[in-house]
Amino acid sequence: MARNLLFITTDQQRWDSLPCYGLEFMQTPNLDRLASEGLVFDHCIVPSPVCVPCRAAMMSGQYPATTGVLGNGHWLPDSIPTWPALIGQSRRTAAIGKMHFNPWDSNQGFHERIMAEDKRHIYLPDHHVQFLAAHGLGRPHPTTLPGYYESMGASVTPRDRKFHVDGFVGDSAARWIEQNWDEPFATWVSFPGPHDPYDPPEDMADLYRDAPIPDPIGSPDELATKPPAQRSRGAGNLDNSMFRLDLSKATTEHYRQWRRHYYANITLIDEGIGKILAALESKGVLDETLIIFTSDHGDALGDHGLPFKAFFYDCMSRVPLIIRGPDVPSGNRADSLISTLDLVPLFYDACETERPKGLQGEDIQPIFDNPSASIRDHVFCEIGGRTMVRTRTHKYAHYNDGSAELYDLVADPNEIENLAGLEAVAGIESDLKDRLLEHHLRCQAAHSTTVNAPQYWVRRDLEADYARQRQKGGDTTYRSPYN
């Protein structure tokens, strides 16, 4: 049994961005170590392809359709229990890095926070901003960084690594462990990168200049057969003061530059993870700590002619997942479909805390006993106005304008040919649509338990008194609660 829980996430890291998933030129020795000493999951799908809904799901253990957190402008109602609040009743908890909570500086059940929020949210006076100020530095608006406009977002941070937000998070997490290792803890370390802008420190910017950067999958041409929502290709970011770019004009060379800097950001994060592992090791608690590494969602990086996220292609909805710790087989791979929602029951079990009612994740621990075991035959992913179900062989997404996507993941793993509406696959499409309907009906039932208004005390007392009358038998006439 683990003594500690360490949950490490990145922001917007696609599944195929590490050597353990085939990208061999990547320099990530510390994540490579976790992979070799732990269990690598090959088919981990997120409950939402955007930040806040996915993070709310990882806090609550419930789908976005259940909590109502279906977009980045939403957050969990107070009525929904979260693991930091419940686990925190018996051990120390901390949230270090980007959390995307609302309010942004609230603790949301954690005992302690070290805040380093979204790279673009330069208006928030978080701890990273305070750290920079203590060194006579400010936090620059992304558009002011060298190369931002020329590369359409692949800029450079002209500072020492320790001043980069991901460097700050890694250093802060290692220091926190060195100061708090002597009592059991449950800590979430959340790196803001490699989320755009793709802004590695200056001395790392050319790390992958000569690397065999993968070409984007597909092209903008295929979007003519895809849902209309995809066809703007990020043009709307020109209207956003944090972006100020029309990303629909990005070229193949822009995509390559995005990827070079994206991979450099991941290497910087890996350095931070190395410091965290070293802190655990120096205090003698590494092998007593359950370490879970994953991301909140992926990034298209030009696949299908698209930037960023918010749709259901594997580049956006599939993420790395590595688990290392007591009772976890080392040097193994798990092929089962899994959702990051399935991590939440594990958090409770690892910290010997009773699970609350309403968790919608599956029990992951049978895979620890047998890495070839399967705990799911399908997973769901959703955001406001669109929803997806994925099996091992097919993926179906339905949009609120009536459009849809259907992919044969065996014959077309790159998700180029949209089969939705074709007679030849009508049976498959109907089955997957039925699964989506059943899923959302279950989420509606679960949602109703979290949004019920408290009953007025008079009615509550009337119902309790009537229940006592019926239990005793005999007189069941109305009795005023005011007597």
* CA 104 remoteness from chain centre: 17
CA–CA gap between residue 297 and residue 267 (Å, rounded): 18
Co-location of 305 and 396 in the same domain: no
188 and 331 assigned to the same domain: yes
DSSP reduced 3-state for 290? strand
Question: What ranges make up the beta strands (E) of 87-244?
Answer: 92-97, 112-115, 185-194
Q: Which of 338, 419, 414 is nearest to 379 (CA)?
A: 338
- Of the chain, the percentage scoring pLDDT greater than 70 comes to 98
Angle of helix 252-282 relative to helix 165-180, nearest 10 degrees?
10
> What is the pLDDT averaged over residues 260-283?
98
Same domain for 392 and 264, yes or no, is no
Does residue 379 lie within any of the structural domains? no
Tell whether 18 and 150 lie within a shared domain. yes
- Is position 65 within any domain? yes
Domain span at residue 397 reads: 386-451
Same domain (yes/no): 87, 117: yes
Q: Is residue 381 part of a domain?
A: no
Q: What is the pLDDT of residues 202-253, one digit of tens each?
A: 999 999 999 999 999 999 999 999 999 999 999 999 998 989 999 999 999 9
DSSP per-residue codes, 331-371 = TEEEEEEEEGGGHHHHHHHHTT-PPPTT--PPP-HHHHH-T
Whichever domain contains 440, its CATH number is: 3.30.1120
Residues 294, 443 within the same domain: no
User: Are residue 338 and residue 432 in the same domain, yes or no?
Assistant: no
Mean pLDDT of 438-443: 94
CA distance 56 to 70: 9
Q: Are residues 158 and 301 in the same domain?
A: yes
Retrieve residue 129's tokens: 């901003």
The angle subtended at Cα 64 by Cα 119 and Cα 66, nearest 5°, is 150
Same domain flag for 318 and 402: no
Q: Other CB atoms closer than 10 Å to residue 453's CB: what's the count?
A: 6
Rounded CA-CA distance 357/158 in Å is 49
Residue pair 83/344 in contact by the 8 Å Cβ criterion: yes
* Same domain, residue pair 251 and 156: yes
d(CA 332, CA 334): 7
Q: Are residues 231 and 328 in the same domain?
A: yes
For residue 225, give the nearest of 422, 429, 418, 424 by alpha carbon: 418
The pLDDT value recorded for residue 107 is: 97
Q: What is the pLDDT of residues 57-108, one digit of tens each?
A: 999 999 999 999 999 999 999 889 999 999 999 999 999 999 999 999 999 9
Count the residues in the chain: 483
In a domain, 17, yes or no: yes
Burial class (CB in 10 A: 0-12, 13-18, 19+), 475: exposed
Beta carbons of 51 and 10 less than 8 angstroms apart? no
Residue 28 lies in a domain: yes
Residue where one domain finishes, among candidates 338, 368, 398: 368
pLDDT at 478 over 90: no
Q: What is the pLDDT of residue 296?
A: 97
The DSSP 8-state label assigned to residue 287 in this structure reads G
Among 253-257, 332-336, 428-432, 450-454, where is mean pLDDT lowest? 450-454
What was the pLDDT predicted at 452? Answer: 64
Q: Are 320 and 341 in contact (CB under 8 A)?
A: no
What are the pLDDT digits (tens) for 10-31? 999 999 999 999 999 999 999 9
Whether residues 85 and 107 fall in one domain: yes
Looking at the structure of the chain, the number of domains it has is: 3
